[in-house]
């Protein structure tokens, strides 16, 4: 279970127009792989996403479009639930506390990015 709307709104509202197609394509690929995954633990996740950073037993950082964007997710392996907590540029990621960041619906809504 993944909130695909969060991914869509992030692309529409936070990614420059010229980059939207590439970022959307990468997020769509991540979504497709993650939606069909049946990981039992972080070791299994790392087999599929070798570049993912395991923050804790339930928190993972995924690199999107190489390392231009980062996606922080909470994963409940027992119930096969993936919750997107945060997504942004690598520069923005450097300013958050990955261990404490929580989903903020205000971050993903608003007017589309005019860039």
pLDDT digits (tens, 9 = 90+) for 63-105: 999 889 999 999 999 999 999 999 999 999 999 999 999 999 8
Q: Which residues contact 32 (CB under 8 A, 6 or more apart)?
A: none
Using one digit for the tens of pLDDT, what is the confidence trace for 9-33? 999 999 999 999 999 999 999 999 9
Look up the pTM and report it. 0.91
Q: In what order do the strands lie in the sheet with 59-64?
A: 53-54, 59-64, 69-76, 81-89
What the chain holds in terms of domains, given with CATH numbers, is 4-100 (3.30.2310.20)
């Amino acid at each position: 279970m993944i909130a695909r709307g969060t991914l869509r709104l992030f692309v529409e509202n936070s990614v420059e127009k010229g980059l939207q197609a590439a970022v959307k394509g990468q997020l769509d690929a991540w979504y497709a792989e993650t939606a069909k995954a049946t990981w039992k633990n972080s070791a299994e996740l790392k087999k599929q996403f070798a570049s993912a950073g395991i923050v804790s037993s339930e928190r993972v950082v995924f690199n999107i479009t190489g390392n231009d964007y980062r996606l922080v997710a909470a994963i409940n392996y027992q119930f096969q639930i993936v919750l997107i907590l945060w997504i942004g540029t690598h520069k923005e990621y450097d300013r958050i506390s990955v261990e404490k960041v929580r989903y903020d619906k205000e971050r993903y809504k608003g007017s589309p990015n005019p860039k």
